[in-house]
Each structure stands twice: as structure tokens, then as C-alpha cells.
Amino acid sequence: MSIDRRTLLAATAIPALTALPVAACGHAAPATAPGGAATRWSQARQIVAAIRRVRIPRRSFIPSRIDADLEGDMRPAILRAIDAAHAAGGGRVVIPAGQTFLSDGPIHLKSNVALHLEAGATLRFSGNHDAYLPPVFTRWEGTECWMRSPFIYARGASNIAITGSGTIDGQGEANWLPWRPQQRADQTLLRDMGRDGVPVEQRVFGKDARLRPLFVQFVECERVLVQGVTLRDSPFWCVHPVYCSDVIVRGITIVSRHINSDGVDPDSSRRVLVENCSFEVGDDGVALKAGRDQDGWRVGRVCEDIVVRNCRYLGDTGGGMAIGSEMSGGVRRVFVDGWDIPRASHTLYFKANRDRGGFIEDVRIRNVRAGSVRALIKFSNDFHSYRGGNFPTRFRRITMENVTCDTAQVGLHISGDASAPVEDIVIRNVTLARAEAPMQVAHARGVMLDRVRINGAEVGSLVEVPREQWLRLPN
């Protein structure tokens, strides 16, 4: 495939790529240039204050079991209650305390409606694969397409919520995880379509496709709240806001231990707050996204103005806090304050490969407590599924401070590219008690170490290590 000059610039030239999403999204440029005073912690407070809050009218609509079919499917009753609440100008659709409702198919929310689960309530989704058809518009692993509906879904809605203290059960491990070994053909086809610019309306994955649906996804929505609920056993990524603004995910618990159960994945979204959440998942706890490769450049929408604070990661095979790997539209102005990560594969993970292009910049992370991990801080331009491109990602202007860790195989893994080194990084007040390899470094510049102690000794500067001497870490 040939790459024209315009596409090449979109992938690799930082000024052009930074400017494109601002124009495309219709937002004004930030008043302060990246790297200035507005990127300090005061801006995190400004971002949170600017998030427009959800306001749901205090009307309740309770789905009636009289409306259930002979198999006990409550989906028609829930959808009728959503329609009634929307028609009335808004309200809560309530799953009553102590009751279990089965939904044989997806729940689509509408503006000004909250799905509310009272204490002890459970909403359980069936494993009837055909019930999640017809296909809906989505972004799957960073590429736009039409496929099976997410279990809870909204597109183009505003002022919507999922609240309460009940449980939403996706039954994903039994019903959908078996598709993972079968998905490669569809996964490859979708990536090829994104690379080759196939019109999105032609990227349809219907009855015979094996792409696993998302659990909760909001597309092109504004003023979104997910609060208090427990999500169990996801079919794929758990909470996925795409092209959204003014999103709050607060005080939720996610328990989904199998692969690809990312906790919260803000994707090309802006003004997002994730706080006081617990992630017992088999993949990343929070992962910031912005599209994949050529399709991400085409869409050209940054993930920006993100605040993550006071969360806990209880998995062991993913990254606690991650940015990427689908981040071709760029990620910027991110503030992470407070993570408890007793164990993980990677604690703080910035991941891309030379297909991605784009950038990760203006990120500040502080107050992280880790236990036993494979890598404490990892920058990678070598993430898996590389397809032969030459568009390395730019990592720059990133500060990490007040980080402690008990044990790690590798302390600092910083792997840039010769044409795009990792640059302008501050690592301050970090203590790693024991590491097999203190650092693995290649292609980095402008990295400042301040009060960094590994294996009881202060580390004053980076030392590049030949790659053949690196410990092998999983992606």
C-alpha cells in the first residue's frame, strides 16, 4: 500500500496532527500552550470543574414482569420503560432491589434517562449471539465498523446514566470468550479495512462474524455518568466512551478476570473523570485510547483533558494505568492522582508501535503505590500486532512522581525509536525496593531523574542498555 504525503504528515508530524483534531472537533485551542502553567495540577481541578453534570428528573419507571415473555426475558419491558421515561422528559428506569432481570439482547439508552439498579438487583445478559443484531456503529479496537451491539449502548444521546448499587452481569466468559480463538480472520479484515480506507458503511460484521461485543459503550454522547454499580464478567472491554464529552465514571467495581476485560477505556473523548473505582480485571484497569493506525488518523480526534484519581487495580495480567495501544489520534492533558496496584504486569504503561503514529504528551502522574509487578514504568514503541509501518509514536512532556513499589522485574523500561525518541520525561521521588533489572533504555533524551532509588541506591541518570541484554517482558 502506498502512503501519500498528506497521510504521512498526519501520522508523524506532531504540529499538524495536534492541530487537526482541534479543527475537526470544533473546539478552540487551549489558552495556554502545552507544557505551560495550565498543564500543572491546577488544570486537573479546572478540568473536573468544567465537566457538565448529569441531571436526571426524579421520576421512576419500573419495568413490569407482566411484559416479560414466556422465557422470562425482561428486555422488552426495560425498553418500554426507557421509551416512557424519554417521552416524559426524562427519569430513572429502575431494576428493583433484590430482583434479577434477564435481558435477551442489548439495552439502548436514550437522552435524559438513567438505568438504575437498586441494592441487590441484577441485570443479566443472555448468551444468545443473534440477539445482539442488527449491527450498530461502533469502534472496535480503534477501528470504526458496524457489528453486534454492546450490551448497554447509546449513540448521540445526552444526559444519560447508569447508577445504583446493583450488578450487571455479562456472562462473558462462558458465552463470548470462546470466540477469541476464532476472531482472528475478522480482526485482520477489520484492520485491513481501516488501513485501506474502506468506507465505514461497508465494514459490516454481522451474523457470521466473531468480533466480541463491548459491555457498556457510549458513542458520540455528552454528559454521561456511570456510578456505583458492579460490572461482572464482560464479553470484551467493559466501559468504553467513544467520541464523548463530559463523562464521569465514579465508584464502580469491575470484576472480569479474563483477557480483554479492560476496565474503563476513554476513547477520543474529552473532559473525562474516573475516580474511586476498583478493577479486578484480566487486562488494563484504565486505558486511554484514540483510534488505530490509518483509521485513527482519518478520524483525527484526540483523547484529552482526562483525570483519573484514587483507583485500585486488582488484576495481575494487565497494566494498572495505561495509555494505548490504540492512540493514533493522540492523547494529551492527562492527570492521574492516586493508584493502588498490589500486583500487575505493568504499573504505568505507555504503549504503541511503529504503525500507530500520533503522540502521548502532557501527562502528569503522582501518588502510586505498587506491590509486585513485572515493570514499574514502561514506554514501548514495540507493542504487539505490528504490521510493518514506519510511523513511530511521540512520547513527550510526561511527569511521574511519588511512586513506590516493592518488587519488579524491570524498574524503568523506556523504549523509544531512533527517529522519535522518548523525550522530556521527569521521574521524581520514586522508590523501587527490589528490581532484577533497574533499567532497560533505548532512544530517550531529556529524561530527568530526581530522587529515584532502585535496589537501595540512588539512580542519577539513564544508561542505555543494548537490547540483547534486556529481560523479555510481556506486552
Is this model's pTM higher than 0.85 or not? yes
- Rounded to the nearest 5°, which phi and psi values hold at 163? -135, 175
Phi-psi region of 418 (alpha: psi -120 to 50; beta: other; left: phi over 0): alpha
The pLDDT, as a whole number, for residue 386 is 87
**For residue 173, what is its C-alpha cell?**
466468559
Nearest to 148 by CA among 126, 117, 168: 126
**pLDDT digit string (tens) for 412-429?**
999 999 999 999 999 999
Report the mean per-residue pLDDT for the chain. Answer: 91
Q: What is the largest CA-CA distance in the chain?
A: 70
Helix axes 14-25 and 5-12, enclosed angle (nearest 10) = 90
The pLDDT, as a whole number, for residue 14 is 29
The pLDDT, as a whole number, for residue 4 is 42
Angle at 199 between CA 194 and CA 200, to 5 degrees: 75
**Domains of the chain listed by start with CATH number:** 1-31+284-475 (2.160.20.10)
Taking the C-alpha atoms of residue 7 and residue 15, their distance in angstroms, rounded to an integer, is 14
Sign of CA pseudo-dihedral 447, 453, 455, 460: positive
The pLDDT, as a whole number, for residue 143 is 98
The pLDDT, as a whole number, for residue 9 is 36
Taking the C-alpha atoms of residue 409 and residue 376, their distance in angstroms, rounded to an integer, is 8
The pLDDT, as a whole number, for residue 69 is 63
Q: Cα separations (Å) of 256 from 94, 309, 415?
A: 24, 21, 30
User: In which residue ranges of the chain is pLDDT below 70?
Assistant: 1-39, 67-70
Which residue type does 404 have? T
Phi-psi region of 88 (alpha: psi -120 to 50; beta: other; left: phi over 0): alpha
- Rounded to the nearest 5°, which phi and psi values hold at 56? -100, 130
Residue indicated by cell numbers 513527550: 396
Sign of CA pseudo-dihedral 444, 447, 452, 457: positive
What lies within 8 Å, CB to CB, of 278 at 6+ separation is 252, 253, 254, 311, 312, 314
Nearest to 268 by CA among 245, 294, 295: 245
